[in-house]
Structure 1
């Protein structure tokens, strides 16, 4: 199996994160599965800081959504068997599933569904306050609100330049994550999801699988394994996205006119 794992981070500025994410995604994958991790395309991001890309809706539309739509088509054309939306903001998820035939797996949706299989109430712990609105939007999109006990952060603010440093000396960051998890547990969480790639990768790489008997849902491993499952379901049982209403495919003519220039 070949899996394209797409995130929105500019790897040119976060090479340590890119290296750890790629290694960990392939570590958790099944034998014979290859996971290729992709970040921001230079011609789309143009070196802009993450804050400029994420905080303005129109900038987000012109960069992140365009990135995911274009690269999902690249993945399908390049022979990949599944495309993972590795950012918990789930950019253009509905559009992606209508655009390609290969399975599109959302990190947010897959980890939440997995968490619900082992716990009645689930908390999400993100990178910073900037990520909270995106997490809330994902919960609302999937109508999971009744089972999400809260959305928390490791830090109120996380500056771009400090992201990679967490991998070289992770203990302080892990301690902060555990402290946030304990607050979430005290407020009703029976499972915890570390959301966004940096948090999920640090937690996964360092083997944090539970806090005070509460399971930590692997935010990188689960999407990879769910992508493998989606591939198997498609191959063996012919299960794919609904084309009746939810994920109607564009006509071949529309694909050529609208998407060949992405």
Structure 2
């Protein structure tokens, strides 16, 4: 008869093998276009290393931190408009009211959103988009796909980009020069937020970013509720 420790070791090894096989199967199901995706990932990564990242680092170097915070607050306030409509589409009325209150306070008392006055007042910050709305109503994510310039996505999230585009206040700015400048500044702000986070990337960059993206999207769609179950009798 196996000792208790040997039995636990055997169970643990069996679980590890099962999880490994499941992970490989999930990878094949979620990423059937891996060849194309890796090619596009290499293109995006090369463009980022050559242009976007150096420009972003220069932006962070010359821009005072308080100004960077103001820029980020401004675009987050604009993004709350998208979140508001998607919360309504998901029937999350309470969250939508929070979004409306945030937009109203930050736009009115926060100098157009440059100052975040809503968070210190206890108004929760939500994050919703149309891809999450589709997922909320049961639409499958479909295969993982890396888009030119836009990066990680899925078929569902790619389709969700279209209605979200119409919910972006920047696209309604009449002056083309101003509109393009805002888009460029938002790109710098978004990339700046990722400079510190990318330090945790290890191993195969493509696989790491893919898995992190898919896990985060699942987390957001389920509002942070993860269904993790195990049988204590096995241990």
Per the normalisation by structure 1, the TM-score is 0.27
Greater C-alpha Rg: 2
Hey, which of these two has a bigger chunk of helix by percent? 2
Hey, which of these two has a bigger chunk of strand by percent? 1
Per the normalisation by structure 2, the TM-score is 0.30
